[in-house]
Structure formats: C-alpha cells, structure tokens
C-alpha cells in the first residue's frame, strides 16, 4: 500500500488523519519539529491503530533533513500540516509566520520534485475567503483580503501551489479549506492540546469545564446574528481527517489543482456551542460577554457540495459528538499529552 508523509503530522489534525489513513490501509510516516505538539500523540496513534508509524524530528524548512526522510521511504503523497496557526501571534511576529509557513511549503515542493513525488495535499483554511465574499463560501469565489498575516500565508501558499502545479504537469495539488475543526478521536486518546491560553473556542470551553480556567469570555454579543454572537461552521476533526483520506485517493488519480471546502454547511453561534456543550456533558460553563475580538467576521460557513460530489465525502457527525468527544479527551487528559 502507498506511503503517505504527514508533515506536521504530530499536531491536532495530523494525528487524527494518521489514524484514518492507517485504518484505510495506508502506511504513514510523520515528520515534525514538535514546535506545537508532542511525540506522545504519535505513540497514541500507534496504540489506537495497532500499527507502527515512523516518526522523524525534522524542521520541514531543512531540505537536507527532509531529503533523508524521502531517501528512507518510498513516499507517494505528502500532506502538509506543518504550519504556525495562531492568528494573534501572527500579528506580533509576521516574519516568523511568513518564513515558517511559506518556507516549509517550498521546501516540500523542492524535495518532492527531486524524488519524483507528485501528490500534495495542503491544509488551507476558510480564512482565504477573506472579508468580502458573501456566505456561504464556495470554491469558485476569489481569494479575499485577510485581516492577519496567518491568513495571508494561506493565501500565498495556495498561490504558490497553484503556480507549481501549472509549471509541472505531473503535479497533483489538493487544497483543503478547513472550516472550524473541533472534537477529538472517540477513544479520547488523541485530541487538541494547545500550549498556553487557548485561542480557539472549544479548547477554551473544555479548559473552563475541567477547572483550568475560571470562565469563558464571549467575544462580542452585538453582531448582526440571531443571538448577537458570531456564527461558524464547526466540523468534527474525525470527519475532517476522513476528508484527507478521500483527498489522497483523489490526488493519486488527477493532476493540476483542485480546491475543496471541508465543512458541514451549518453554522452555530458561540452561545449555541456553549449550550450544546452543557447539554452533551452536563457540565455548566461560566461565561461572560466581552469586547469583540479584532478581525472576527460575524458569520461564515461552507457550501460543502463539491466535496460531496467529487470526493464522495460529507461530514457525518453533529454538534453532540463534537462536544462529547472534546470533553472526553479533556477530562481523560486534563493536561493534554503532558503526563
């Protein structure tokens, strides 16, 4: 069976994707510098799947170190998860974000060309639709104007990958635009493990639930939405991971660039998420309204028809499973992968 390299595969989405690829019969290898993850996640992947996953501590920017990984394995496809992703930090350290995210992409493309590896699946984001596109977002819309350097790195990397695929007719690029991944593997052995204070909603909620934080601050309740809080398209990380398995299959039979939204198509407000969490877990979340967070858009969600039509993929799990699995991961691992 084919071997898939997961660059940045020890992280939240990569580790879940590793499990689904292994279950689908692929061999998986992971290269990560652990700047935002722990090698423990891959140990857990091995426990869930009962399979060995070769793991390399490599900075993906380092082409020589990356080449050594390609020398050791007969890689058929690469999934590029290796990026920095904190929006606020990207505003404070834009150069770090541009250099890490873009250089990892170019390094992978160059080493892949050297080893005649042609399939590239990329972790993009709904953020590339920017601020001016109408909702729901559909893949035919132009990339928009981003409000932060993190978003711009995704826009730029999409452009770089499209240009590379235009120049090399053998290359197959799949750009996966994720909406808001939450949840964890139902085994509760792997999940999201942010360092420091969580930036994202669900890990913040679960840390309040487990007693690590006092209360949730809801960023704004004066948006033009039903209950005044922002609405997003939350997707279970296992559904998202299965989308990658479909994308790997697709990439191996096509060339050129194809873009897919990976979302559910249904938005929920921050208040609805908190209420769903309370119902699914029986744990009350202390919450307060605070100021709007700069750069937040009132509402966005996916048109998910293209992934259904072409990849035969759609999200199967609902808000209940997303909340249940986020909570089970957090309460069974109150300090994440730190033992």
| Contact between 33 and ligand NAD per CB under 6 A | yes
Distance CA 70, CA 205 (A): 40
Judged by CB under 6 A, the stretch of 53-61, 63-71, 221-229, 268-276 that binds ligand NAD is: 53-61
- Under the binding rule (CB under 6 A), the answer on residue 178 touching ligand UDP is no
Is 7 or 218 the residue whose CB approaches ligand UDP more closely? 218
CB 276 within 8 A of CB 323: yes
Contacted entry of ligand UDP, ligand NAD, none for residue 201, CB cut-off 5 to 8 Å set by kind: ligand UDP
CB 6 within 8 A of CB 20: no
Q: Looking at 34, 98, 115, 219, which residue binds ligand UDP (CB under 6 A)?
A: 219
Query: 15, 7, 10: which is closest to 185 by C-alpha?
Result: 15
User: Which residues contact residue 279 at a Cβ distance below 8 angstroms, ignoring those fewer than 6 apart?
Assistant: 320, 323
Instruction: From the list ligand UDP, ligand NAD, none, pick the one residue 178 interacts with, judged by a Cβ distance below 5 to 8 Å according to partner type.
Output: ligand NAD
Pairing type for strands 172-178 and 119-125 reads parallel
Distance CA 20, CA 241 (A): 6
In the set 10, 276, 304, 323, which binds ligand NAD (CB under 6 A)?
10
Find which of ligand UDP, ligand NAD, none residue 46 binds, CB within 5 to 8 Å per kind. Answer: none
Task: Please report, as residue ranges, which positions from 173 to 192 form the binding site for ligand NAD (by CB under 6 A).
Answer: 178, 181
Residue 150 bears catalytic tag: yes
**Residue 127: both structure tokens together:** 């953020």
Asked whether 61 and 103 are in contact (CB, 8 A), the reply is yes
By the 8 A CB rule, do 326 and 183 touch?
yes
Q: In the bound complex, what is the minimum distance in angstroms from residue 201's beta carbon to ligand NAD? A: 10
Question: Which residues of the chain form contacts with ligand UDP (CB under 6 A)?
Answer: 180, 199-201, 204, 216-219, 230, 232, 270, 293, 296
């Amino acid at each position: 069976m084919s071997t898939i390299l997961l660059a940045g595969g020890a992280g939240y989405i990569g580790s879940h994707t590793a499990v689904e690829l292994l279950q689908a019969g692929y061999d998986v290898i992971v290269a990560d510098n652990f700047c935002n993850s722990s090698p423990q996640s891959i140990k857990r992947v091995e426990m869930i799947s009962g399979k060995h996953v070769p793991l390399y501590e490599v900075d993906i920017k380092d082409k020589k170190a990356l080449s050594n990984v390609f020398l050791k394995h007969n890689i058929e496809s690469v999934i590029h998860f290796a990026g920095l992703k904190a929006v606020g930090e990207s505003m404070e350290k834009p150069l770090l974000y541009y250099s890490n995210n873009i250089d990892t992409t170019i390094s992978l493309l160059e080493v892949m060309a050297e080893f005649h590896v042609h399939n590239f699946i990329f972790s993009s984001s709904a953020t590339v639709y920017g601020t001016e596109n109408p909702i729901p977002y559909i893949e035919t819309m132009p990339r928009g104007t981003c409000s932060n350097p993190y978003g711009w790195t995704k826009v730029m990397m999409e452009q770089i990958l499209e240009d590379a695929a235009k120049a090399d007719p053998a290359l197959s690029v799949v750009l996966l635009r994720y909406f808001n991944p939450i949840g964890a593997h139902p085994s509760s052995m792997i999940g999201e493990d942010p360092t420091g204070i969580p930036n994202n909603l669900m890990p913040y909620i679960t840390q309040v639930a487990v007693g690590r934080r006092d209360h949730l601050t809801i960023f704004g309740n004066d948006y033009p939405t039903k209950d005044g809080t922002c609405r997003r398209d939350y997707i279970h990380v296992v559904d998202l991971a299965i989308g990658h398995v479909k994308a790997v299959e697709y990439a191996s039979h096509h060339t050129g660039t194809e873009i897919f939204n990976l979302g559910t198509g249904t938005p929920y407000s921050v208040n609805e998420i908190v209420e769903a969490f309370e119902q699914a877990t029986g744990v009350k979340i202390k919450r307060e309204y605070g100021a709007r967070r700069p750069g937040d858009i009132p509402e966005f969600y996916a048109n998910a028809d293209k992934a259904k039509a072409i990849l035969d993929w759609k999200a199967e799990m609902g808000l209940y499973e997303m909340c249940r699995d986020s909570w089970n991961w957090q309460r069974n691992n109150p300090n994440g992968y730190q033992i």
